[in-house]
Amino acid sequence: MAYTELAVQSPTIAGVIPADVAATLTDGNRFINTGREFILLKNGGGVNPCIVTIPTPQTVKNLTIQDPTVSVAIGVEKIIGPFPPELYNNPAGGTDPNEVYVEYDQVTSCTVSVFRV
């Protein structure tokens, strides 16, 4: 899969306008993660909730970590995160190192933006 990169925004005292982009269904999205990032996911309409999965490529003591899922109902906005790098980052030396993947079950009217605090 070729995940689509999301730009990470940093809030300021003057405020920032979220750079909402359409969530990518086919290949999902990705962003550089330091452990201080949060996703803002908006489900602006449509007929179904948007279910987001955050794959966990790491293991703990050789045990697979269950991928968390978050359901965002129609007309709802949710902030998801943070993402501890030791659990969520793709490993160094692999594809998209130090990045987190975000996958969706559907993207009708779903937008996403990423913030670092």
The pLDDT tens digits for 91-102 are: 999 899 999 999
pLDDT at 35 over 90: yes
User: What is the CATH topology of the domain spanning 21-116?
Assistant: Hypothetical Protein Tm1070; Chain: A (2.60.290)
pLDDT reported for residue 3: 96
* Reported confidence tier of residue 47, pLDDT bands at 50, 70, 90: confident
Average pLDDT, stretch 57-80? 96
Average pLDDT, stretch 77-104? 96
* Reported confidence tier of residue 113, pLDDT bands at 50, 70, 90: very high
Q: Which of 114, 83, 82, 116 has its CA nearest to residue 11?
A: 116
Between CA 94 and CA 34 the distance in angstroms is 17
**Helices H, strands E: what count in the chain?**
1, 12
- Looking at the chain, the whole-number percentage of residues with pLDDT higher than 70 is 99
Q: What are the sequence ranges of the domains in the chain? A: 21-116
Between CA 48 and CA 25 the distance in angstroms is 14
pLDDT reported for residue 46: 80
The SS3 call for residue 88 is helix
Tokens matching residue 44: 């602006």
